[in-house]
Amino acid sequence: MRRAPAGEGAHRTAAGGAREAGGTRHAAFTRAERTKGAIAHSLGAVSPIQVPDAPVVLSSASVYPEKTPAAFEIAAKLGYDGVEVLVSSDPASQDIDLLRRLSDYHQIPVTAVHSPCLVLTQRVWGREPWGKLVRSKEMAEALGARTIVVHPAFRWQREYAREFESGIARMQDETDVVFAVENMYPVRVRDREVVPYAPSWNPLDRDYPDVTLDLSHTAMSGSDAMEMAKQLGGRLSHVHVTDGFGGQNLDEHLIPGRGTQPVGELLEYLAEGGFGGQLVLEVSTRKAADRQARMRELAEALAFTRLHFAQTSSASGRPRDRRERLALLRRRPSAPPRRFAVDGGGTVDDKGTVDPGES
């Protein structure tokens, strides 16, 4: 099957652009277009800023310990472009009909499905790993999602691990939904390193056609996230935007900008390269005191991502730094003041602009 490479994602009729879902176009899919228009209007014809079409998506894992329905509600309120559903022990995350109703009600599409391949989800949808992927594919196809996120096999899943790479390739040939294998990490036990994944935790070692790059996992593995992204090239089709420090075997999933990973630099690199995959905020907000505190953190994560994921260049052609970009975004032409009159019946009459010379 021929699929468009990652660089062509802006032209796909999937989550990166306007997609038809059951005959109804989701308003969420036009947010990127509206953002582009708003920026161009505010900066005038000289604006060097372009916002690529890749959607910025909220993982349902980011609202834990709240449940899956909360992810749709929060995504809609904050202006995310979609939801990545992590299939978990939460019954709502496994119910295709309920997920479709949530998507329709909040006008937030399901753009990706994260297969239940975590240690904590080993019993979800049974214990047979290929069966989990089949059900993930069926869910993604039913909901119009374009990506399935999957982890490499655990070492103790010997037969599954032995056939993992070829099996993913066979399943990919059966569907237009992309299987994006996620980078993982070794763990350290006392003085030695233990690798719980097979055939490898590192996607650079394998030939998966599509890869998910998770920046909390690059922190855990001590990988150079920028170098990994560059080596993956067009195979990089999905990003878990997050952060971390990487010490003490902690998969932290911090709000981007709060750890040591080059999150902003990576987003700018992807924007300049015309990345057409999905940017998914998969962060931990479990310590948030309440819903409002959680929403503030997720709003911060969204703002960080949108700020950095923009194509910008100066008149000389060099990329602009963040301070220049902020200055450009704030340079909004002020509209001339206008005079209005209200008659006794409450009708408002626009009298036109005010002459600057008038007192």
Across 179-188, 207-216, 332-341, 342-351, least confident range: 332-341
| pTM, to two decimals | 0.75
Average pLDDT of the segment spanning 123-146: 96
Fold (CATH) for 6-324: TIM Barrel (3.20.20)
pLDDT of residue 355: 66
CA separation for the pair 93, 106 (Å, rounded): 16
Question: pLDDT tens digits for 152-211?
Answer: 999 999 999 999 999 999 999 999 999 999 999 998 877 788 899 999 999 999 999 999
Name which residue leads in pLDDT, 242 or 40: 242
pLDDT for the residue numbered 15 = 36
Q: What confidence category does residue 9 fall into, taking pLDDT thresholds of 50, 70 and 90?
A: very low
**Confidence class of residue 54 from pLDDT cuts 50, 70 and 90?**
confident
Residue 110 reports pLDDT greater than 70: yes
Q: Higher model confidence: residue 137 or residue 17? A: 137
Q: How confident is the model at residue 247 (pLDDT cuts 50, 70, 90)?
A: confident
The radius of gyration computed from the CA coordinates of the chain, to the nearest angstrom, equals: 22
- Residue spans of alpha helices (H) in the chain: 31-43, 68-78, 96-106, 129-143, 158-172, 215-221, 225-232, 263-272, 291-308, 322-330
